[in-house]
Amino acid sequence: MKARVCELCGHQATIYCASDSSSLCSTCDSNVHQANFLAARHLRRHICSLCDSLSGIPFSGPASPHLRNVCDSCSLRKEVESVPCSLSLSSSSACLSSTKSFAEKKCLDGAAAKIASSSIVTADSGDATNRPTRRGEKSKPRTAMEAKSEDIFVNWLRKLGLKLNGGQSVVSSASRAFELCLDRSPVMPLRWSLAASFWLGVRSCGDRSLATWQNLRRLEKVSGVPAKLIVAIGSRLVLDLRARSAGPRLDLEEGWAES
């Protein structure tokens, strides 16, 4: 592209005056627009030294010698071209490496979350033991899970100090409720399912003296599950058990805990 020239002296133009429709070099611009007050009020713009397009914002008065006569587009292109190729490649590699590391960390965090959500408290120590989480599991893992849950229910009976003459009924009813809870809500934390199923077993054992506020508070302390959450999940389990066509029906009595 042909460079603009000053219309007075023929040198390369650096400033364009829209009022005069003329391109001027810095020396001629100073002579013209500082000649009188009216000429000094003319709005002018700098001319880009690379592409000869108008750059910057319009100004009046004397032109500042500190302003660069380069438009934004050319300035950006110069900065990009000044970056060494090796530095650009290393930055890209670092970006890809960082993205890969983030993706790997996210996968590991997701796997850890699955393991944590599938943990189950042991009957005595409360330590976490992993369990399979797939619904299409074979009978052997489910049988082991049922045995583990029964051990926990028996341990909770002992810790709550409940009478063992109805303990077998409590464990049996709680185990059926826990099995249904696993089928209907496989993503629910096992501790919640165990506590709600156990309380359902206590309420359905036929001994009203066991389903008391004090025992619910004790279960809250032993299981670590809030009493309100135990009651809420238990109420949902009651509806699911009543709607279930197969399996024995639990004889649940309405009590204060459901209200």
pLDDT confidence of residue 243: 74
- The CATH H-level superfamily of 143-245 is Cyclin-like (1.10.472.10)
pLDDT 10s digits, 175-189: 888 888 888 777 788
Give the 3-state secondary structure of residue 248. Answer: coil
CB burial readout 137-152, b (16+ within 10 A) else e: eeeeeeeebbebbbeb
Whether 9 has a pLDDT exceeding 80, the answer reads yes
Query: Please, which pLDDT band fits residue 119 given cuts at 50, 70 and 90?
Result: very low
Residue intervals of the chain classified under CATH 1.10.472.10 are 143-245
Question: Average pLDDT of 161-168?
Answer: 65
Computed over every residue of the chain, the mean pLDDT equals: 71
Which of the residue ranges 70-74, 164-168, 249-253 would you say has the lowest mean pLDDT? 249-253
Question: Average pLDDT of 66-89?
Answer: 56
CA end-to-end distance (rounded Å), the chain: 86
Q: What is the DSSP letter of 166?
A: G
Q: Which residue has tokens 């500082």?
A: 34
| pTM of the model as a whole | 0.41
CA dist 26 and 7 (Å) reads 12
Query: Please, which pLDDT band fits residue 114 given cuts at 50, 70 and 90?
Result: very low
Compute how many other C-beta atoms are within 10 angstroms of the C-beta atom of residue 55.
22
CA dist 194 and 74 (Å) reads 69
